[in-house]
Amino acid sequence: MNDSIQLEVKVTKKNHRKLYVPVLEIALLSVAIFWGTSYGLTKQALIYSSVMVFIMLRFSVAFLSLLPMALRDIYMGRSKDWKVAFPTGSILAAIFFFEVTGVFQTSASKAAFLISLSVIFTSFVEVFINKNAISRGMFFLAVSSVVGVFLLTDSSGLELTLSRGDYFILSAALLRAMMVTTTKRITQDKVITNVTLTCIQSLVVAASAGGVILYNSGLNMTFPTNVEFWLIMGYLVVCCTLFAFFVQNHAVRKLSPTKVSLLMGSEPMFGAIFAVIWLNESLSALQVLGGCIIFASVMVASIPKKIEPN
C-alpha cells in the first residue's frame, strides 16, 4: 500500500515537471515577441520624447504599478533580501540607456538583430562565472552569428559599416548577458519575490534616468501629451516591462542564464518583421541573409539537450 502511494506521488511530480517546463518556455517566447515589437514602437515614441524622459516615464509607471505588491511582500517577510535587486537594477539602467539611444540612431530592424548577440555573449559570460569551457558547437554558432552580423550591417555588400547606434546596441547586448548571469548569481538562495525584484529594478532605472535629466539641464524636460505616445507607453509598460521582466527574473532563477537567453533568441525575427510591416523599413538581400544566419544560429543553440533519466 505504501509503495503504491509513493509511486503515485513520483508519477504526479514527474508529470508536473513535464507540464511546467513548456509553460515557462512559452512565456519566454512571448517575451521575445513583445521585445521584438518594442523596437519599432520605441522608435515611434521617441518622435514625441527625448530618450531619458522616455526611460524615466516608462519605468516610473512600472515601479508605481508594482509598489503596493512589493511592499506587501517585504512586510510579510517574503522579500527579506530585497537589497540584492539594486545591482541588477543598475545594469538594467545601463542596458536601456544604450538600447534606447541605439534604437534612436539606427534602424529598428537592425537593432533587433544586433541585440540577439546577447545569446552568444551570455554563453561567454557564463564561462567566467561557472568556469565551464565553451563547446565546439557553441563556438561555431558564435562565429556564424558574427558572420551574420557582418552581412546584416554591410548594406553595400563590400565593406563593414557600424554606426554609432549599432555600437550602442551591441553594448546593450553585452550588458543583457551580464544582467541574466548576475541575476542568477546574486539571487540564488535569496529570499525575494520576482515582483519585488522587478519593482526595485524599475525604481533604479527610473531614478537613474531622472538623475541624468537633472544633471544635464540641457535635456528636453517636456512631457509628451500625444495620445499615440501614451498608447505605446501603455503597451511597453504592461507587455515589455512588467510581464517581460517578471518572466525573465522568474526564469533565470529556474534555468541557466544561457538557456534563458537562447529561449528568447527569436526576438530579432519578430523585430524585423514588425519593423518592415509597421515602419515600412526595407532590408537588402544580404541583410536578410545575415539576419537568417543569426536567427538560425540562435535556433540551433536553443535545441535542448536530452534529459538523462534519473
Per-state percent for the chain, helix, strand, coil, to nearest 5 = 80, 0, 20
pTM for this entry? 0.75
Buried residues in 188-220 as b, exposed as e (16+ CB within 10 A): eeeebbbbbbbbbbbbbbbbbbbebbeeeeeee
DSSP code, position 82 = G
Distance (Å, whole) CA 116 – CA 177: 10
Q: How confident is the model at residue 21 (pLDDT cuts 50, 70, 90)?
A: very low
pLDDT in tens, 281-309: 777 787 778 778 877 776 676 565 544 34
Question: Please, which pLDDT band fits residue 61 given cuts at 50, 70 and 90?
Answer: very high
d(CA 298, CA 305): 15
**Average pLDDT for 52-61:** 92
Q: What pLDDT, in 10s, does the model give residues 245-277?
A: 888 888 888 777 777 776 676 676 676 667 677
Average pLDDT over residues 119-134: 73
Please state the domain extents for the chain. 2-301
> In Å, what is the CA distance from 239 to each residue of 25, 89, 232, 262?
16, 19, 11, 20
